[in-house]
Structure 1
Amino acid sequence: MNVTPARNTHPSTSPVPARPRALVGWRLLSLFYDLWPVAALWMLIAVPFTLGYTYLGHHAARENIAPFSALQWLLWLACFMATGAYATLSWRRGGQTLGMRPWRLRLVAVDGGVPAWKALWLRYAVGTLSLLAGGLGFWWAWFDRDRLTWHDRASGTRLLRMPKR
């Protein structure tokens, strides 16, 4: 006869935490990992800007793009939009960017489904503002009752840590 031991159901010894864990460390590791493909993307985007500035503008090859010029702002906008396309397409397609995969993080809508495009772009915009504010929106998860970041709340999405296979 197979006998299984009784489980302790006392509330004080329950392994389930009262509040979900903040995934701040995993999120930051994921962002660091995603920095590398995004940096490569930025370099590819910068090539036509640099070549155009050098050869069409008749400037020396060693001369940088003038600070606060229209061309520099256009380059920043192109990099911002390309990074957003990378993030939103990855989230929409499989719920994960390349950086989220090693740490088993998955983005879902509040109802557990695939988030809408509007929510994904809102998440990206608020997440960018959060990073520009010194990561304050990420650190907010330590104080939030549901352990959500600013961009989680604004977009109606959640970041889940998936179990090991």
Structure 2
Amino acid sequence: MSEPSAVPERPSALLPRRLAALFYDLWPALALWMLLSALFTLGFTVAGHGARENIAPFSALQWLLWLSCWVIAGLYATISWRRGGQTLGMRPWQLYLRGETGAPLRWSTLWLRYLGGTVSLLCGGLGFWWALVDRQKLTLHDRLSGTRLVRIPRGD
């Protein structure tokens, strides 16, 4: 079996493009969260709770809903990255996810990237701001997962 060929170097995605793509990706994720919450609420109502009864704060059900929203957003991101290297939000900004070697990205790598990005966002975007001081303009979750977000100019 031959070694994967080196991928031609492309410009790294600049932080404003990354953040714009992340903002664009908020909308499909929000739609998925609404759908999941509606199904969750329907199941909660069918289980015998009143239609206007709230879930107790910090209950197991509330944590299950949060975890389910995180997983469904992760499925959206990882499936998009695996299928074409882009989410819907990355397309208008000409961003593409690739591995350092150019080999196809593994599921474990994609989920590691998603987890790192989540932790980064929960820490006030610290992992994203890292790209401002990194020589290669990589975020911490790029470094953690061995991936790189690159900009592909139109026409390539």
How far is the alpha carbon of 1:36 from its aligned partner? 0.5
Matched-pair contact (CA < 8 Å) for 1:123–1:155: yes
Which of these residues, 18, 28, 34, is aligned with residue 37 of structure 1?
28
Q: Does 1:64 align with 2:46?
A: no
How far is the alpha carbon of 1:125 from its aligned partner? 0.1
Q: Identity over the aligned pairs, expressed in percent?
A: 66
How far is the alpha carbon of 1:64 from its aligned partner? 2.2
TM-score normalised by L of structure 1? 0.83
> Which structure has the bigger radius of gyration?
1
- The one-letter amino acid paired with 1:95 is G
Flag structure 2 segments of 5+ consecutive residues without an equivalent. 1-10
Take 1:108 and 1:95, find their aligned partners in 2: how far apart are those partners? 7
Residue by residue, what CA displacement relative to the aligned partner does 1:123-152 show, whole Å, maximum 9, x if unpaired?
000000000000010010001122110100
Which of these residues, 134, 145, 152, is aligned with residue 162 of structure 1?
152
Query: Larger relative contact order (C-alpha < 8 A, sep ≥ 6)?
Result: 2
Task: Please give the residue correspondences for 1:62-101 in structure 2 after superposition, counting only pairs within 5 Å.
Answer: 62-101=52-91
Distance 1:99 1:22, change over 3 A: closer
Flag structure 1 segments of 5+ consecutive residues without an equivalent. 1-19
Count of residue correspondences = 145
Secondary structure class of the residue paired with 1:146: coil
- The one-letter amino acid paired with 1:107 is L
Take 1:21 and 1:153, find their aligned partners in 2: how far apart are those partners? 13
TM-score normalised by L of structure 2? 0.88
Matched-pair contact (CA < 8 Å) for 1:88–1:120: yes
- Greater shift in the superposed pair: 86-95 or 46-55: 46-55
Distance 1:159 1:21, change over 3 A: closer
